Structure formats: structure tokens, C-alpha cells
Amino acid sequence: MRHALHGVWRRYRGLPSGAQVAVAVVIAVAVVAVAGARGGAPTATSRPTPATRPPAVTAPSASTTAPAPTAAPGSSPSTPAGSSPASPATSSTPGAAPSTCHARGSGLYVLPDPTCTPGATNPAVTQADIGSTICASGWTTTIRPPESYTEPLKYSQLAAYGEPGPVSTYEEDHLIPLELGGAPRDVRNLWPEPGAAPNPKDEVENAARHAVCDGALTLAAAQQAIATDWIALGRQLGVTTAAAPATGPTAAPPPAGSASPAPAPAATAGCSPTTPSGSCYRRGEYCSGAEHGTTGTDASGNAITCEDVNGTWRWE
């Protein structure tokens, strides 16, 4: 077989070039024809079909929510009231479902939902620098956020609190006010407070700032007190006589036959000194720096003295 193939090759090489091409074409056609008949080799016009790939599976996209307002570029991060800067944020209202936050109280004496609005402080304000920050005239105007920031936030928080509006009858309030070192833009420190400014809480904020700047109250104590219950702080400072609201979402009516709360004693000619609103001081209320160590009288004529009680000055 080997000699026969060698002989064929010699004869092929002896052919003219044109004849060699013709023989090569004939052999190629014959090979293709035989392969096609057997079905074992691909033809010039057929190509292997690539394996079909399954369609790519994409992960379901998360529901899109509007981003919560964030602090201004370059501003210090705020701290939840009563916690250290390393503590995690408690919560925030933007993105919350409608009517998931519940204020406590009624009328103008309302406390925000402590879960939605726990309060947050500005770490740039400390007890050591109150003289150049909250106690300096006009300082709060340098950090107060613009209405373009607070107004959209008020709309979203009104929905979260389930408040009907109109929007103009609410103030987008800093629970810990700026004049007590509250965080300017933190949503945990902002809430839609019933009543356009000025309102009863504003008077409490002013009295608390005076108490801190006069040395009657520490900054941390004032921040914690106003974030927990600004109405109770107002009573201690002698600027409001409103009762504390119920702890539930709505105030429960008093039991049938129960006595009404006794009104706060009114100012009399015999009490001295008096609160900024003209009422008599009562035991346990804060006294100002100018009154440290002094003795006065309450509404009943009993002697009360401005004393240091565990770091805060109170009438006792």
C-alpha cells in the first residue's frame, strides 16, 4: 500500500501545475461528498450550534424610597439625646409609613413620639463653650437650617404622625432647641409641633437657656429634660402650669368620679421672688444664678431657699 501511494504521488508530481489543481479539487469534492453521506463531519455550510445559555437571573430590586435629609457638608454628626456620640441612631421619621408616629397630649401641649423623635444634640456645643455658642447673642442664626430644608421635612413628618394639617398650623420644631445645643438638621430632632411660633414650648426653651447660661442648670441636664418632657421642664422652671400628657398615643379621660388636678398656686403679694411669667416658685423648681443661696417665700408664705441639689440649683 505504501509503494502504491508512493507511485501515485510521483505521477501527481509529474503532472503540470494546472492538472495538479484539477486533481486536488476532484479529491476534495469526493471527500466532502463521502463525509456528507455518512453524516459524521460538518459541511462547508454547516456550523456547530453553540449551547443555549439560560437567561440571566437578576435580583429583585428594593423598593425605592425618598432619601432622608442629611447633615450639611462639613457639619458635625449629631448625637441622640442622652447617649454618647458612638451610640447608634435610634430612628427617624422620613420614609416611615403614614400614621406610624404618635404624639402624646392635645392642643398646644403635645410631646412627640419618643421612637420617631428622640431628640439629638450638636456635639459642637459643650458645657465648656456655652459662653461662645448658645449663650452668645445671635449664635443660633448661624446654624439654623433654611426653610427649603425644613418645609419638605414637615410635610413628610406630618404624614408619619398622621396629622391632618393645615401645614401652616404646625411648626417644624427642634425638640432639643438650638439654644440648648440641639442638632440643627438631624431628623431625630425635628418634628411637626402643633401651633405656629411662638407657642408654649418656646417660652420653656427661653427659660431653660437662661437657666443654663445663669448656671442654674447644666447643659446636659437641660437637654435631657426637654427631650424627655418639655412640659414637665416648663413646670419646674415656672413658666407653664400644664399637666403632663398621658403616655399613650392619646390622652385617656380621667376615671368617672375622680377629682380634677389641683391648679398650681397663683402668684400672691407675699411670694418672692417670682418666675419670669409672674408665678410663685415652688419647691423643686430651678432657680437662676442670681438667686443662688437666697431665701424667698412660696405662694403659701413658706420659706424656700435656692440650693445646690446634686449639681443643679433648685428652690427647696
The identity of residue 312, as a single letter, is T
Establish if 182 belongs to a structural domain. Answer: yes
The whole-angstrom separation of Cα 234 and Cα 167 is 26
The verdict on 200 and 306 lying in the same domain is no
Establish if 32 belongs to a structural domain. Answer: no
The mean per-residue pLDDT over the stretch 224-235 comes to 95
The identity of residue 262, as a single letter, is A
Distance of CA 62 to the CA centre of its chain: 20
The verdict on 243 and 115 lying in the same domain is yes
Residue 264 is given by DSSP the state P
Query: What is the CA angle 49-51-52, rounded to 5?
Result: 110
3-state secondary structure at position 39: coil
Cell triple for residue 11?
505521477
The verdict on 161 and 310 lying in the same domain is no
Which residues lie closer than 8 Å to 43 by C-beta, 6 or more apart?
A: 32, 35, 36
- Residue-wise pLDDT for 168-226, tens only, equals 899 999 999 999 999 999 999 999 999 877 889 999 999 999 999 999 999 999 999 99
| Count: domains in the chain | 2
Residue 156's pLDDT is what? 94
The whole-angstrom separation of Cα 199 and Cα 160 is 22
Establish if 10 belongs to a structural domain. Answer: no
The verdict on 272 and 155 lying in the same domain is no
For residue 294, what are the domain limits?
266-316
Q: Which residue has the cell 420644631?
A: 173
Q: Residue 124: count other Cβ atoms within 10 Å of its Cβ.
A: 14
Q: Within the chain, what is the greatest distance between any pair of CA atoms?
A: 144
The verdict on 94 and 158 lying in the same domain is yes
Establish if 296 belongs to a structural domain. Answer: yes
* b/e 174-188 (16+ beta carbons within 10 angstroms → b): bbbbbbbbbbbbbbb
Single pTM value for the model: 0.56
- Classify strands 79-80 and 312-315 as parallel, antiparallel or unpaired: unpaired
- The answer to whether 289 and 215 have CB atoms below 8 angstroms apart is yes
The whole-angstrom separation of Cα 175 and Cα 187 is 10
The verdict on 117 and 223 lying in the same domain is yes
Does the structure show a pLDDT above 60 at 309?
yes
Of 263, 264, 268, nearest in space to 302 by CA:
268
- Residue-wise pLDDT for 262-303, tens only, equals 344 444 457 888 765 566 777 767 676 677 788 888 877 788
Domain termination site, one of 220, 249, 278: 249
The verdict on 211 and 146 lying in the same domain is yes
- Residues 295, 299, 301, 305: what is their CA dihedral angle, to the nearest 10 degrees? -20
3-state secondary structure at position 76: coil
The verdict on 314 and 211 lying in the same domain is no
246 exposed, middle or buried (CB, 10 Å; 0-12, 13-18, 19+)? middle
Of 216, 204, 186, nearest in space to 122 by CA:
186
- Residue-wise pLDDT for 35-83, tens only, equals 555 654 444 444 444 444 444 433 333 333 333 444 443 345 676 665 4
Residue 80's pLDDT is what? 64
The whole-angstrom separation of Cα 99 and Cα 134 is 34
Number of alpha carbons in the 13 Å side-chain half-sphere of residue 202? 11
With residue 13 as reference, give the H or E element that holds it.
helix 2-14
